[in-house]
């Protein structure tokens, strides 16, 4: 029977697939989106999110955010919380290969008029100082043993070694270091793939972007000011990257381990081998959890070094210190993680392992782990759009409990990379964007074509759905003026 016949409309932005849809579903699946988003959704996403609903220990719902699209195992935009006291599992497919792919936003006290004459120089210099593309290597020279320290300490290692400010640590999830990371649980191959990649952007949809907060796009001036955006046409810098080849190898290693023990040792049967998993409290589950934390910490460190390079470039060009340029972080949010969190389920607090795969944590006001300076307004949420459109700064809200305080992470692809390369030419796209006031540097013209705005959902539609659903509140829309793509 067609999925549409099972799909129940819960509200204008919430749609549910009941457990009767597929044998083995333990909980319903819920998809967030407007009628337009749902009408255009790839049917493979329905199959994936309902497969997730069959996993042991899953609690309440299998969820898919408004930017959801087809991924490995889980849909990208997938969220699932596993009760670790009731046999809940951990699954690399619910976290992603690019562990802690995430977003960081910093402000400046510069205006667009001040930056515009320098934009090409800024982008060119950043292109030199922040290596991008497949196989790129960073300027931070580490031994393999040094790298083991980095992945256990995260951004804290960076700040201790002069790559940033103490205040930066307060403004990251987990203060830039997820405790319990154990480099003894990662392979030599993972170390080899990662030890020379700190401070690099990578490829695909990763980017470093100079943006402007136009007056008409500041939706809540009071909240915006609390987050550091205090004037119209203020220039900010946003970037998106993750744990590079290191995180990919960690995920690959443990997927193979889980496939060997999942059924033979633990009797777990799954509908899709890409959902390979192990009980969270098993030796294999705990080993992966400690290794995954290394991937999370590597990514925090990676973004911290990139932040340091950005400050260096702006300081050199504008002949002022980063402090005088007001180059303070707003926040750093992670995607592609699994974290132990306490949530209220049916009136009772429970310990849940929340998988967010291409989804952003969005804690509401007053919640633990929200930085003290934001405690009364909620956690900042950074959602990146395509390089042609724009991005958003939002905050978490109390009603986010319906998704374990999770929201979208980006626009969400609607077109394969292969089709995008056939549809657009990178060199033409480059010229078109420059004519519209967006100066771009890229390591690859075919790679640039893959990232054309038309290959993604409309970011405004995604944000509208997230706000209407009550899972985050928009504060500012940010418009690109310069971009570095891997």
- How far, CA to CA in Å, does 464 sit from each of 32, 343, 365, 407, 429? 11, 26, 21, 12, 27
Question: How many residues are listed for the chain in this entry?
Answer: 486
Give the helix ranges, DSSP H, for 182-282: 188-194, 221-226, 244-266
Residue-wise burial string across 415-437, b where 16 or more C-beta atoms lie within 10 A, e elsewhere = bebeebbeebbbeebbeebeeee
- 302 is annotated as contributing to ligand binding: no
- 240 is annotated as contributing to ligand binding: yes
Residue-wise burial string across 361-376, b where 16 or more C-beta atoms lie within 10 A, e elsewhere = bbbbeebeebbeebee
- 94 is annotated as contributing to ligand binding: no
DSSP state of 75: P
- 100 is annotated as contributing to ligand binding: no
- 109 is annotated as contributing to ligand binding: no
Q: What are phi and psi of 138, to 5 degrees?
A: -85, 170
Please enumerate in sequence order all residues whose Cβ is within 8 A of that of 323, keeping only pairs 6 or more positions apart, or say none: none
Pairing of strands 360-361, 348-357: unpaired
- 315 is annotated as contributing to ligand binding: no
Pairing of strands 278-279, 337-345: unpaired
- 450 is annotated as contributing to ligand binding: no
| DSSP characters over 279-292 | ETTSHHHHHHHHHH
- 205 is annotated as contributing to ligand binding: yes
DSSP state of 220: -
- 412 is annotated as contributing to ligand binding: yes
- 485 is annotated as contributing to ligand binding: yes
Instruction: Establish whether 355 is a catalytic residue.
Output: no
Q: Cα–Cα distance between 338 and 406 in angstroms, integer?
A: 12
- 391 is annotated as contributing to ligand binding: yes
- 336 is annotated as contributing to ligand binding: yes
The span from the first CA to the last CA of the chain, in angstroms, equals 43
User: Which of 248, 308, 355, 409 is the catalytic position?
Assistant: 409
- 188 is annotated as contributing to ligand binding: no
- 387 is annotated as contributing to ligand binding: yes
Q: What are phi and psi of 48, to 5 degrees?
A: -70, -45
- 386 is annotated as contributing to ligand binding: yes
Q: Cα–Cα distance between 14 and 30 in angstroms, integer?
A: 7
- 207 is annotated as contributing to ligand binding: yes
Q: Which residues are annotated as a binding site for GMP?
A: 205-209, 335-336, 384-387, 391, 409-412, 485
Q: Which residues are annotated as a binding site for Mn(2+)?
A: 98, 206, 240, 335
Q: Which residues are annotated as a binding site?
A: 98, 205-209, 240, 335-336, 384-387, 391, 409-412, 485
Residues forming the active site: 409
């Amino acid at each position: 029977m067609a999925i549409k016949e099972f799909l129940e409309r819960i509200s204008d932005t919430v749609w549910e697939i009941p457990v009767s849809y597929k044998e083995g579903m333990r909980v319903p699946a819920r998809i967030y989106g407007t009628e337009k988003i749902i009408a255009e959704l790839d049917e493979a996403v329905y199959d994936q999110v309902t497969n997730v609903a069959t996993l042991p220990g899953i609690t309440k719902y299998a969820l898919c955010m408004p930017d959801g699209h087809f991924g490995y195992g889980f849909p990208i935009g997938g969220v699932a919380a596993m009760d670790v006291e009731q046999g809940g599992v951990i699954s690399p497919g619910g976290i992603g290969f690019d562990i802690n792919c995430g977003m960081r936003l910093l402000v400046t006290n510069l205006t667009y008029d001040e930056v515009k004459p320098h934009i090409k120089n800024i982008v060119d210099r950043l292109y030199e100082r922040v290596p991008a593309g497949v196989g790129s290597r960073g300027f931070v020279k580490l031994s393999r043993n040094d790298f083991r320290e980095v992945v256990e300490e995260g951004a804290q290692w960076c700040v201790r070694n002069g790559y940033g400010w103490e205040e930066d640590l307060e403004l990251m999830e987990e203060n830039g270091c997820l405790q319990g990371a154990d480099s003894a649980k990662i392979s030599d191959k993972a170390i080899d793939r990662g030890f020379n990649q700190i401070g690099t952007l990578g490829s695909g949809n990763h980017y470093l972007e100079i943006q402007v907060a136009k007056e008409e796009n500041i939706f809540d001036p009071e909240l915006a000011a609390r987050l550091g955006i205090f004037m119209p046409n203020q220039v900010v810098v946003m970037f998106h990257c993750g744990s590079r080849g290191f995180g990919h190898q960690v995920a690959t290693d443990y997927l193979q381990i889980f496939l060997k023990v999942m059924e033979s040792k633990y009797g777990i049967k799954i509908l899709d081998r890409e959902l390979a998993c192990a009980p969270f409290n098993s030796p294999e589950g705990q080993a992966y959890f400690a290794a995954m934390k290394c991937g999370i910490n590597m990514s925090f460190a990676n973004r911290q070094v990139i932040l340091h390079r950005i400050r260096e470039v702006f300081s050199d060009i504008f002949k002022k210190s980063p402090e005088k340029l007001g180059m303070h972080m707003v926040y750093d949010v992670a995607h592609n993680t699994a974290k132990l969190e306490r949530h209220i389920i049916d009136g009772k607090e429970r310990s849940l392992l929340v998988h967010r795969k291409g989804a952003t944590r969005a804690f509401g006001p007053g919640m633990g782990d929200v930085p003290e300076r934001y405690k009364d307004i909620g956690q900042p949420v950074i959602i990146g759009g395509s390089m042609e459109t724009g991005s958003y700064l939002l905050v978490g809200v109390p009603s986010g409990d319906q998704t374990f305080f999770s929201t979208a992470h980006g626009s969400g692809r609607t077109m394969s990379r292969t089709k995008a390369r056939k549809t657009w030419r990178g060199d033409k796209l480059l010229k078109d964007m420059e004519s519209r006031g967006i100066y771009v540097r890229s390591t690859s013209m075919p790679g640039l074509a893959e990232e054309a705005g038309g290959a993604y959902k409309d970011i405004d539609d995604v944000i509208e759905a997230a706000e209407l659903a009550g899972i985050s509140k928009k504060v500012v829309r940010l418009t690109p003026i310069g971009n570095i793509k891997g």
